[in-house]
Structures are given as structure tokens and as C-alpha cells.
Amino acid sequence: MRVPIAATTTGLVLGAGLALAGVTLAPDTAATIDSTTTVAASGERVGPTWHDEHETVVGSSVIVLESLTVDDAEALLVYEVLTIAPRAGGIVILDETGAGPGVGVTPETWVIETADGEYEASGRNTDVHEVRFEVDDQFTLSDVTGIRLTRYRMRMPYSYTVEVPPETGHVITIDDGYTISVDSVIPQTTSLVLHLGLEHPHDLFLSSDPDPVRVTGVGPEWLSATPRLPSGVALTREGPDVPDPLLLRVSSTYWITLDRPIDMNIGGLGLG
Amino acid sequence: MADDPLRDLLSSPLETTPRRGGGEQHQPRPPRGGGQGPWLVASIIVGALAFLGGYVVVGGEEAPPTTTAASTTTTTTMVAPPVGLLPDGYTALGDRLGVKVERILVRTDAVFVSLSSVVPNTLAPAESSGFQGGLWTLVLADGRQIGSVQESSDASAPGFFSVQFPPDGYSAADITGIALQAVAQRSAEDISAEIEAPFTIPADGTPITATLAQSTFFLDAGVNLVFSDVTLTASRAEMSWTVEGPDEDAGAIVYPYLELEMEDGTIEAAQVRTDDPTFGFFFAQSVSTRPTVRAGSILYDPIDPGPTATFPTDVPLRARFFASVSWAVYSPDKVMIPIGEDVVVTELG
């Protein structure tokens, strides 16, 4: 092996020089670590803000208390629910007014806190963003020390396949209060008709919502799905064969009830 | 794919897992020529090491203690996502998405973990959080990790999504967290192919087979979409597709279309039926997102109304196949999302 002396000598000198330069110019390591911080020097907030002052985060939404007024032993709380969710994927069906399904959070029951006690009230339904409290004659806004949300609903999406035996009367429970029942299995000459019952809780607070569960067959042999009254679906499948089990796809976005108290930000109400 | 924002959002400076397509930069470059270059480089390294060794032995240990200006020196540089500014209970996925477990539903046939997600209010409406789903594991107290089956989302539940896991004898109390293992990168493309040669469909119902001039389509690294031949009878056409390649997590959704053309140029379109019918569309507020899958089957019916409709028979036909294809591939990542004390639990059965 031949070693090129000129190149090697030059390299050794250059390497030593670079190392010297590095030792001389390098900043102090400990000082660098200590001085690196995630807090701004001025103490101001840095980075993106996730919600504004006076907004209270509930799920993928914020609730903003807009006003609290008192009139004739009744306190009226008006609020707004705004989404802070990322852009939704999928397809939304707009109603005749051009409105979509709205945000996925809705408050239901509230408490006004005062030094002397609490007042409870419930909203009417998912579309009304105000709640009325019966209060004492002596109640004034300056008595209010806090407002608490005690029950609210969230829409949660579920989409999955289920295997159902083709037995009339068979019932599967898909969630608390939600069932799918096989009401009838009708093999015809060239097709199979399947009647399914879809039971869900009857809840006045959610009465403005349409049928919250959809069921279709899995496979290109399934030809159609037709709603059945009062709550159900008729599925038609090509051919007289009755698969066992039936493979069905269930999709839903019904409201889930959450009984967990959340203290609201009341700073924007301007209470005395 | 390279400009997918989530790849950057969810990357960690400490992460050592090579990302898709990023491994080559760590490969040694091939030697170029002979000459003295290697000797020069080696000697520079030796010289530097010799100097530094001497520096440490002679002076390094006796250097005065390092004094810092830590108490007076601050910087406005952010070195981490602004996790502290997230709403309470939320875990950051990058710097523009926070997620929180809201509910656990345990059934005998499946377990679902539902999460809410939020974005900073500085995010313009036209911007996306970049999150396109992922692969998850359920982390149990005994150390087991259960891989996810699929995710659910729906435009009528904005910000919420549910992750499905298989049941395996555990209860909600056993679940300590849900871990994002990989983030999805979704893409879409329209493809088309001619049937190789003209064909004739017999009127007597005898099936014939037609072959696509191109049956394999490259979607992504390690992901090919392969279509079968088309089997045609007077009243039906059938075909299937599979996702093939070494990337076993990848999946696709195929929206197909078949067009038959007679010699005089008349077009005979076909009605399509697939594995995941969307006829629930007509009585719902929205259509749920569809999970990507590894395989699917397709049926085509003559589009003319009536029970006896047929494709043109005993005449020469040409055919064109079209499909809108969307697919997902996954990049490794790792974010642990804890189960908070306020999570709602429902256990059935």
C-alpha cells in the first residue's frame, strides 16, 4: 500500500486547524441548553391559539355564552355552539334551506351557581340555543358565581359490518338502547327480501333528528334499501339464496349522552 | 405524496424510523474515482482527532466551570409544538390537530374508541388539519396491544371519529390508551383501459371473457391495483380487483364504470354495483366515509330499464373500463393518547 505523503501531511494540518477552530468558535453547550425554552421572553403567548377567551371547549366545539338576562323570576341564558373541528370529509346532504347537519355537540342541562344555591334547567332540543331557569324573585345577575353544563350530547360516527343470522326474531344490540331485529326473511323466486327493525331510544330532546341508523347489505348482490315505518329498512338481494350469516354494514351518527360537568367561561357575560 | 403536510406535522426530531421514500439519503455514496481524496479525508479526520485528544488531556479538564446566562437569556424560538396551549385533555398530533378520547363502547363483537378533534382557531377555513386517518393500537394494562380494524367518520359528526378494535377478552377498565402507529396518506386518480380486442356476447347466455389491455396500475410504492378479466353474459358483466404488493397496510376504494360501444358508435352504458352500496344515501343526512380494502368485486347490469334488459348480443363490441380510485398508504409514527378519567364507557353483553 502506498501512502501519498503530501496529501496526508496536508490533511493532518487541515484537520488540526479545523478542530482548533471548532473549539474556539463553538458556543458553550450548557448555556445553549439552558437558554432554549418554549416560553417567549416577554411572556406573551406564542404559537397558535386553539380557542378564544370566553369560549369553553366541549368536544370538537366551543360554547360561547352570549347573554344572561333576568325577567319576572326567569333567567334566560343564550349561547352559541361553534365548531372548532377540522374540515369534515365525506358527503353531507343539505336540507331545503341549504343547512347541513350542524356541529356535533349540543348542550342539554345547565346549572347557574350563586352563593345561596343553584338553579337547574334543561334546553328544549338540539336546535334551540337558549335555556330558561326559574329563579327566586330576589335573584340578580350579580348573584351569579358560575354556570355549569351538566349534560350534553355528542354525535359520534360508527360504521362497521355485522354478521346476522337469517332468523326471524333475532335481535342484536349495537349500542345502549339501539337494536337491529330481523323482522322477516322472504326468499322469492329471483330475490331475497329482508325486513329489519331499527329500535332507538325515544327522546324528546332529539326528536328533530331523523332516523339515526342506516343499514345496507355488503356485496354487489344487494339491490336496494327502502325505509320502513315506523322504524326499519327493507333490503332486497339478488337471487333466492339466503346467506348465513347475513353480512350487513351499519352506519350511524346518533347522539351520545355525556353526564359530566363542565364549568363554563362566564367572563364574556359582563355580570355585575 | 412528498408534499403531504401530515408527514412533517407528525414527525419528531427524535424519531429514527425511516419514512417512506426517505431511506436512500442515508445510503453511502458510491466511490468516485481513485486518486488521493480518501487519504486527504482520512488524514483530516486523524488530524482533528489528534488535536481534540490533546485538548482534552491537557486543557479540557482544567477549563473553568461553565457559567451560563440561563437566568437572563431567553429565546422566543419554539422547540416543540405548542402543546401547552391545547384545550385541557387534548393530545397534539402535530401543531394543528388535538385529539381526545371521549367514549369507549365495548360490545361482544367489537370495541370502539371514539375521539374528538380540534384545530387552532387561527387555521383558515380552507386549510386542512392534514390528518387523514391512521392505524391504531389499543394499549392494555397487561402490555398487550390490539391492532385497529378500521376508522369511522361522517360529515354529520364533524371532528369526531371512532376506531374499531377486535374484542379479545378485555374490558374498558383494561384499556390504558390508544396509540397512533401510522398516519394515512390518501391519494386519488382516474384510470382507464380498453378491452384488448373486439368481442361478441352470445345471445344464448354463454359467458365470454374479455381482457383489459392494461390490468395492473401502479398506485404507490409497494402498492399495485390489479383487475381481473371481465366476464360477460347477455345480462351481466363481472370483474374483481385486488391490491397487491409488499405494503400490506395499503388499501383502496374503486368506483368503476364500463362502457360498451357498438360498431356504429352507439354507446351502451352499464349500471354498476359494488361491495359497499351507497343506497343508504337517500335517507340520511350524510354518507359515511368508506374504509379502504384490499379487494372488491364489481357487477354491471344493462342500464336499460326492465327485467329482460340485455347487453347488445351477437354484434361486435368494443369496451372501455374507467375507474376513480382512491387509496391510502401509511407512514410510521407514534403518538400515545391517554384515556382520561372523564371518558364515557358503555359495555354491552
Question: CA B76, B81, B83, B87: dihedral to nearest 10 degrees?
Answer: 100
Q: Do A175 and B288 touch (CB under 8 A)?
A: no
* Shared-domain flag, residues A170 and A234: yes
Q: Do A88 and B49 touch (CB under 8 A)?
A: no
Q: Which residues of A touch B40 (CB under 8 A)?
A: 7-8, 10-11
Give residue B148's identity as a one-letter amino acid code. Answer: S
* Shared-domain flag, residues A108 and A127: yes
Q: Do B43 and A23 touch (CB under 8 A)?
A: no
- Residue B174 phi, psi dihedral angles, 5° rounding: -80, -15
* Shared-domain flag, residues A109 and A237: no
Q: Which DSSP letter does residue A231 get?
A: T
Please name the residues between 216 and 235 in chain A that touch chain B, using a CB distance below 8 Å: 216-225, 227
* Shared-domain flag, residues A141 and A200: no
Distances B271 to A16, A235, B236, B267 between C-alpha atoms, Å = 77, 19, 10, 13
Helix (H) or strand (E) holding B270: strand B267-274
Model pLDDT for residues B64-104, shown as the tens digit of each residue: 333 333 332 333 333 344 444 788 899 998 878 999 999 99
Would A13 be classed as within a structural domain?
A: no
Please name the residues between 64 and 83 in chain A that touch chain B, using a CB distance below 8 Å: 83
Q: Which residues of B touch A100 (CB under 8 A)?
A: 155-156, 285
* Shared-domain flag, residues A163 and A244: yes
Q: CA of A31: which chain B residue's CA is closest?
A: B68
Which residue has better confidence, A206 or B211?
A: B211
Q: CA of B286: which chain A residue's CA is closest?
A: A92
What phi-psi label fits residue B265: left (phi over 0), alpha (psi between -120 and 50 degrees) or beta?
A: left
Q: Which three cell numbers mark A179?
A: 337494536
Would A16 be classed as within a structural domain?
A: no
Using the structure block, give the residue that is written with the C-alpha cell 381481473: B228
Distances B245 to A158, B135, B219, B292 between C-alpha atoms, Å = 30, 19, 10, 15
Give the closest-approach CA distance of B68 to chain A in angstroms. Answer: 5
Q: Do B85 and A45 touch (CB under 8 A)?
A: yes
pTM of the model: 0.76
Q: Which DSSP letter does residue B24 get?
A: G
Rounded to whole angstroms, how far apart are CA atoms B42 and B334? Answer: 39
Rounded to whole angstroms, how far apart are CA atoms B214 and B224? Answer: 12
Which residue has better confidence, B288 or B63?
A: B288
Res B256 pLDDT > 50: yes
Model pLDDT for residues B291-349, shown as the tens digit of each residue: 899 999 999 988 776 667 889 999 999 999 999 999 999 999 899 999 999 999 999 98
pLDDT at A160: 95
* Shared-domain flag, residues A216 and A244: yes
Domain containing residue A99: 55-155+258-269
Residue B335: CB partners within 8 Å, gap ≥ 6? B10, B91, B92, B93, B179, B180
Give the closest-approach CA distance of A271 to chain B in angstroms. Answer: 25
User: Can you tell me the mean pLDDT for B188-214?
Assistant: 94
Which residue has better confidence, A130 or B290?
A: A130
Q: Do A84 and B159 touch (CB under 8 A)?
A: yes
* Shared-domain flag, residues A94 and A75: yes
Domain boundaries defined on chain B: 86-186+332-347, 187-329
Q: Which residues of A touch B103 (CB under 8 A)?
A: 154, 156, 256, 258
Q: CA of A177: which chain B residue's CA is closest?
A: B348
List, as own/partner pairs, every contact residues B17-26 make where C-beta atoms lie below 8 angstroms and the sequence separation is at least 24, other chains included.
B17/B332, B17/B334, B19/B331, B19/B332, B20/B221, B20/B329, B20/B331, B21/B221
Give residue A109's identity as a one-letter amino acid code. Answer: T
Would A171 be classed as within a structural domain?
A: yes
Question: CA B244, B248, B253, B256: dihedral to nearest 10 degrees?
Answer: 10
pLDDT at A227: 84
User: Among residues of chain B, what percentage have pLDDT more than 90?
Assistant: 53
Q: Do B160 and A89 touch (CB under 8 A)?
A: no
Q: Where are the beta strands (DSSP E) in chain A?
A: 55-58, 61-70, 74-83, 91-92, 105-114, 117-122, 130-134, 144-155, 158-164, 171-175, 178-187, 191-199, 213-217, 222-228, 232-238, 246-252, 255-258, 262-263
Closest CA to B241 of B299, B281, B289, B282: B299
Interface test with B, best of A1, A2, A9, A12 (most B CBs within 10 A): A12
Q: Which residues of B touch A90 (CB under 8 A)?
A: 153-155, 286-289
Rounded to whole angstroms, how far apart are CA atoms B6 and A174? Answer: 34
Rounded to whole angstroms, how far apart are CA atoms B156 and A254? Answer: 10
Res B48 pLDDT > 80: no
Would A169 be classed as within a structural domain?
A: yes
Interface test with A, best of B41, B46, B51 (most A CBs within 10 A): B51
Q: Do B39 and A3 touch (CB under 8 A)?
A: yes
Q: Do B114 and A256 touch (CB under 8 A)?
A: yes
Q: CA of A13: which chain B residue's CA is closest?
A: B47
β partners of residue B145: B139
Pairing of strands A222-228, B295-302: unpaired
User: Can you tell me the mean pLDDT for B40-61?
Assistant: 42
* Shared-domain flag, residues A190 and A144: no
Please name the residues between 156 and 215 in chain A that touch chain B, using a CB distance below 8 Å: 156-160, 162-163, 173-176, 210-211, 214-215
Rounded to whole angstroms, how far apart are CA atoms B38 and B145? Answer: 49
User: Can you tell me the mean pLDDT for B185-209?
Assistant: 94
Alpha helices, H only, chain B = 5-9, 37-58
Distances B74 to A36, A177, B69, B115 between C-alpha atoms, Å = 7, 57, 9, 37
What is the CATH code of the structural domain delimited by B86-186+332-347? 2.60.40
Give residue B323's identity as a one-letter amino acid code. Answer: A
Rounded to whole angstroms, how far apart are CA atoms A214 and A228? Answer: 12
pLDDT at A151: 97
Q: Which residues of B touch A174 (CB under 8 A)?
A: 107
User: Can you tell me the mean pLDDT for B268-292?
Assistant: 70
What phi-psi label fits residue A59: left (phi over 0), alpha (psi between -120 and 50 degrees) or beta?
A: left
Rounded to whole angstroms, how far apart are CA atoms B81 and B76? Answer: 13
Mean pLDDT, chain B, as a whole number?
Answer: 77
pLDDT at A257: 93
Q: Do B283 and A227 touch (CB under 8 A)?
A: yes
Pairing of strands A61-70, A74-83: antiparallel
Residue A94: CB partners within 8 Å, gap ≥ 6? A100
Would A193 be classed as within a structural domain?
A: yes
Count of domains observed in chain A = 2
pLDDT at B30: 28
Please name the residues between 232 and 251 in chain A that touch chain B, using a CB distance below 8 Å: 249, 251
* Shared-domain flag, residues A114 and A232: no
The answer to whether B276 touches B267, Cβ cutoff 8 Å, is: no
Give the closest-approach CA distance of B289 to chain A in angstroms. Answer: 5
* Shared-domain flag, residues A108 and A240: no
**Helix, coil or strand: residue B87:** coil
Identify which of B88, B150, B279 has the shortest CB distance to residue A225.
B279
Give the closest-approach CA distance of B299 to chain A in angstroms. Answer: 6
Would A32 be classed as within a structural domain?
A: no
Q: CA of B86: which chain A residue's CA is closest?
A: A50
Give the closest-approach CA distance of B113 to chain A in angstroms. Answer: 10
Q: CA of B307: which chain A residue's CA is closest?
A: A190
pLDDT at B287: 63
Would A215 be classed as within a structural domain?
A: yes
* Shared-domain flag, residues A128 and A170: no
Q: Which residues of A touch B87 (CB under 8 A)?
A: 50-51, 57
Would A173 be classed as within a structural domain?
A: yes
Closest CA to A252 of A176, A160, A171, A173: A160
Give the closest-approach CA distance of A70 to chain B in angstroms. Answer: 31
- Residue A100 phi, psi dihedral angles, 5° rounding: -95, -165
Q: What is the mean pLDDT of each run of 10 residues along chain A (272 residues)?
A: 46 48 37 31 56 89 94 94 80 66 89 95 91 94 95 94 96 95 95 94 74 86 86 91 95 92 90 62
* Shared-domain flag, residues A121 and A192: no
Q: Name the band, by pLDDT with cuts 50, 70 and 90, for residue B121.
A: confident
Q: Which DSSP letter does residue B12 get?
A: -
Complex ipTM tops 0.85: no
